[in-house]
Homo-oligomer: A and B are copies of this chain.
Amino acid sequence: MPENVNRQIILKSRPAGMPKESDFDLIETPIPTPEFGQVLIKSLWMSLDPYMRGRITSSPVGDVIESEAVGRVMESRLEGFKAGDIVRGRIGWQEYGLLDVTSAFPVNRDYGPISTSVGVLGMPGLTAYFGLLDVCEPKPGDTVVVSAASGAVGAVVGQIAKIGGCRVVGIAGSDEKVSYIVDELGFDAGINYKTQDVDRALSVAAPDGVDCYFDNVGGPITEAVLAHLAMYSRTVICGRISEYNEAEPSMGPRILRYLHSTRSRIQGFTVNQYPQQFEEGRAQLARWVKSGQIKYREDIVEGFENSPKAFIGQLGGANFGKLLIKVSDE
Contact A253 B256 (CB under 8 A): no
Closest to A239 in B: B260
Say whether A259 contacts B264, CB under 8 Å.
no
A239 surroundings in chain B (CB, below 8 A): 260
Q: Tell me which of A33-41, A159-167, A244-252 binds B.
A: A244-252
A262 within 8 A of B: yes
**Interface residues on chain A, number (Cβ under 8 Å):** 33
User: Is A59 part of the contact surface with B, judged by Cβ < 8 Å?
Assistant: no
| Residue in A253, A256, A258, A267 whose Cβ sees the most chain B Cβ within 10 Å | A256
A266 within 8 A of B: yes
User: Is A102 in contact with chain B by the CB < 8 A criterion?
Assistant: no
Which of A88-96, A116-124, A268-276, A314-322 lies at the interface? A268-276
Nearest-neighbour CB distance to chain B for A314, whole angstroms, equals: 18
Q: Is the CB of B268 within 8 A of A261?
A: yes
Contact B263 A255 (CB under 8 A): no
Q: Does A243 contact B (CB under 8 A)?
A: yes
Query: Which single member of B215, B222, B264 contacts A268 (CB below 8 Å)?
Result: B264
Q: Are B266 and A265 in contact (CB under 8 A)?
A: yes
In A146-174, the 8 Å CB interface with B consists of none
B residues in contact with A200, CB < 8 Å:
none
Cβ-closest 6 pairs across A and B: A249-B253, A259-B268, A260-B268, A265-B267, A263-B268, A237-B260
* 19 A-B pairs with C-beta separation under 8 A: A218-B254, A218-B256, A237-B260, A239-B260, A240-B260, A243-B256, A249-B253, A250-B254, A251-B252, A251-B253, A251-B254, A252-B253, A252-B254, A256-B266, A259-B268, A261-B268, A262-B268, A264-B267, A265-B266
